[in-house]
Amino acid sequence: MLVSCLRSSPGHMSSSAAAAAAAAGGLHPHHMRRVARLSKIALEHSFSLGVFIPLALEQASSTQEGAASGDVPGNINASTINLLGSFFAAATAGGGARIDAVPLLACAGWTIEEAAKLADAVCTDDADEINGIRKHLGLPEAETITLGEGTEDETNNNAYVSAYYNENVSFAHEVLAVGGTFDRLHAGHRLLLSAAAVTCTSKVLMGIATDELLANKTNGDLIARYDERVNDARSYLQSVNPKLEVVVGPLSDPKEPPAAATDASCTGLVVSAETLDGGHAVQRMRREILGDGVQPLDLIVVGLITASGEDKISSTALRREDRRRETTGA
């Protein structure tokens, strides 16, 4: 893994200004350009990418009620979701929709010392700090790679379309649910899973569509098998927050209630802006099964990521791209 750290004060910007930029809706453009360059370098060198994002760049709000003491340092709110969205938009700009980029957020318990343990490679401006930590821990020195200066327009054609639904909800849940197909794990999936990873303090209930349910999808023969998709989604979520327990269940029938509708201990559900209606349907199932007195789910909504001025990133589009390459050899 190529590991880097976003500095709290890019150039002339103070750390308080950096935090304000994040709270306003995501990473500062300086940081987005850095993430784009890091993603490009990681792709060129066949590394995954881990980016430590310190508390100074996260939201300055107080810890949400319900967070388990010591599990998550707090500062998790709607702006955290936007920060993640801008991170993945930038990563996609540099490394494409499938780039294996992991945000290592302090609010998920990460420290620069823990991030340094993952480093197979570092950029020149991180080398002294990260390799110094690795030396202190008795770990071998990570390979040093030159990052370069980059350009001002590196993220102009990539965007995170924010969701404006995250009002009056908690962003700290002991048990939380998330679901999807998770074929060809892409930036949109990684955003959804990262949002679940940082807003859960103990156990994630993860529903994944079965092979049978997806049989009639476009280019369905190219969809990765269920076990592979389970492994990819679980592994990625736990790379963002290793402390979490992940319980996976199959989604085989849209009419069958998922775990979020039957488990009273589950209090949150992470959905995308595109699947918000499905989230409301789960709420209705939950009331029907558990009764009107059950605690409603907090629906935590992530927005959509677009690339190169095109429509949102999707598994359908990626399968179409793979089919074209398979057919043309290009």
pLDDT of 309 > 70? The answer is no
Nearest residue to 232 (alpha-carbon basis) of 177, 178, 189, 275 = 189
Looking at residue 110, what is its pLDDT?
95
Q: What is the mean pLDDT of residues 81-87?
A: 91
Q: How far apart are CA 51 and CA 53, in angstroms?
A: 6
Q: What is the mean pLDDT of residues 1-29?
A: 65
Looking at residue 316, what is its pLDDT?
86
Q: How far apart are CA 139 and CA 130, in angstroms?
A: 11
pLDDT of 113 > 90? The answer is yes
Band (57; pLDDT cuts 50, 70, 90): confident
pLDDT of 297 > 80? The answer is yes
pLDDT of 19 > 60? The answer is no
pLDDT of 12 > 50? The answer is no
Are 201 and 172 spatial neighbours (Cβ–Cβ below 8 Å)? Answer: yes
| Other Cβ atoms within 10 Å of 120 Cβ, number | 14
Looking at residue 26, what is its pLDDT?
79
Greater confidence, 108 or 162?
A: 108
Greater confidence, 25 or 323?
A: 323
Token duo for residue 154: 């590196």
Q: What is the mean pLDDT of residues 13-31?
A: 60
Band (61; pLDDT cuts 50, 70, 90): very low
Looking at residue 60, what is its pLDDT?
37
Looking at residue 62, what is its pLDDT?
34
Question: What percent of the chain stands above pLDDT 90?
Answer: 65
Band (124; pLDDT cuts 50, 70, 90): very high
Nearest residue to 108 (alpha-carbon basis) of 162, 149, 144, 54 = 54
* Mean pLDDT of the residues in the chain: 86
Looking at residue 154, what is its pLDDT?
56
Q: What is the mean pLDDT of residues 156-164?
A: 63
pLDDT of 326 > 80? The answer is yes
pLDDT of 23 > 50? The answer is no
pLDDT of 178 > 90? The answer is yes
Looking at residue 302, what is its pLDDT?
94
Q: What is the mean pLDDT of residues 73-82?
A: 77
Window from 27-31, 147-151, 194-198, 268-272 with minimum mean pLDDT:
147-151
Band (146; pLDDT cuts 50, 70, 90): very high
Whose structure tokens read 């993952």? 118
Q: What is the mean pLDDT of residues 126-143?
A: 97
pLDDT of 58 > 90? The answer is no
User: 3-class DSSP state for residue 257?
Assistant: coil
Q: How far apart are CA 282 and CA 205, in angstroms?
A: 14
Q: How far apart are CA 325 and CA 63, in angstroms?
A: 48
Looking at residue 22, what is its pLDDT?
46
The β-bridge relationship of strands 143-145 and 159-161 is: unpaired
Looking at residue 314, what is its pLDDT?
87
pLDDT of 104 > 60? The answer is yes
